[in-house]
Amino acid sequence: MDAEKLHRDSIIIDAVAPLLGRKKYIDSYIAGGVTCVAPGLDDDSPSTVLKECGRWSRFLRSRPDLRLVLKAADIEAAKRGGQVGIVHSFQGTQAFGTDLDLVEAYQALGLRMVQLTYNRQDYVGHGCETEVDGGLSSFGKDLVRRLNENRIVVDCTHTGYKTTMDALSSTTRPAVFSHSNSAVLFPSKRNIFDEQAKAAAATGGLIGVTAVPQLVVAANGSAARPSLDDFVAHIDHFVSLVGADHVGLGLDYWWGTLPFSDLEAVIGQWESNIGQGLWSREAYPRPPHYNPPEIETPDTLLNLTKELIHRGYREDDVRKILGLNWLRVFRDVWGA
Question: Average pLDDT of 246-252?
Answer: 98
How far apart are alpha carbons 121 and 127 in whole angstroms?
5
How far apart are alpha carbons 321 and 329 in whole angstroms?
12
Question: Average pLDDT of 11-28?
Answer: 96
Please state the φ and ψ torsions of residue 234, each to the nearest 5 degrees.
Answer: -70, -40
Q: What is the largest CA-CA distance in the chain?
A: 52
Q: What is the pLDDT of residues 220-238, one digit of tens each?
A: 656 678 999 999 999 999 9
How far apart are alpha carbons 17 and 252 in whole angstroms?
5
Question: Average pLDDT of 182-201?
Answer: 97
Question: Average pLDDT of 83-99?
Answer: 97
- With H, G, I as helix, E, B as strand and everything else as coil, classify residue 295: helix
CB 104 within 8 A of CB 150: yes
Selected residue with higher pLDDT from 301 and 214: 301
Question: Average pLDDT of 129-152?
Answer: 96
How far apart are alpha carbons 39 and 18 in whole angstroms?
5
Q: What is the pLDDT of residues 260-280, one digit of tens each?
A: 877 888 889 889 999 988 898
Residue 3 has a pLDDT of: 96
CATH level 3 topology of 3-334: TIM Barrel (3.20.20)
226 upstream amide cis, omega within 30 of 0: no
Does 136 have pLDDT greater than 90? yes
Residue 69 has a pLDDT of: 98
With the CA atoms of 272, 224, 113 and 321 taken in that order, what torsion angle do they form, in degrees rounded to the nearest 10?
170
User: Domain map of the chain by residue range?
Assistant: 3-334
Does 286 have pLDDT greater than 80? yes
Q: How far is CA 120 from CA 38, 216, 298, 305, in A?
A: 22, 21, 29, 35
**Where does the chain show beta strands of DSSP type E?**
13-14, 36-37, 66-68, 84-86, 88-90, 111-115, 153-155, 175-177, 206-209, 247-249
How far apart are alpha carbons 131 and 207 in whole angstroms?
24
CB 170 within 8 A of CB 141: yes
Question: Average pLDDT of 50-60?
Answer: 97
Mean residue pLDDT of the chain comes to: 95
Cα 316 versus chain centre, distance: 22
How far apart are alpha carbons 148 and 18 in whole angstroms?
24
Confidence label for 43 from pLDDT (cuts 50, 70 and 90): confident
